[in-house]
Amino acid sequence: DGYFHQRVTECRFSSKDLQGIEFIDSYVFNQAEYVRFNSTVGKFVGYTEHGVYNAEAWNSDAAILAQERGELERYCKFNAAIDYS
């Protein structure tokens, strides 16, 4: 019994040239994803009523968006050599 909350961040690579890297930041509650940031889209997208509410709030905050957009460079591209080794 109880609740399950999870945040999953991942980098998706389509090639070794670092041009096709995508940063995904997903929020999951009880095994259902309710909001996601995708670096290709450049903003949060909500999948449930609560997720839409959060996405609207987070997308209206320039600091949160700047931080998420920076994760592609800071986290994905920086660690790409490790992931490919």
- Note the pLDDT of residue 26: 97
**CA distance from start to end of the chain:** 41
Model pLDDT for residues 37-55, shown as the tens digit of each residue:
999 999 999 999 999 999 9
Question: In the chain, where are the structural domains located?
Answer: 5-84
pLDDT value of position 83: 66
**CB atoms closer than 10 angstroms to residue 41:** 11
Domain 5-84: CATH architecture, name and number where available: Roll (3.10)
**Two tokens at 14?**
């389509």
Q: What are 31's two structure tokens? A: 């095994």
Distance, CA of 52 to CA of 44 (rounded, Å): 9
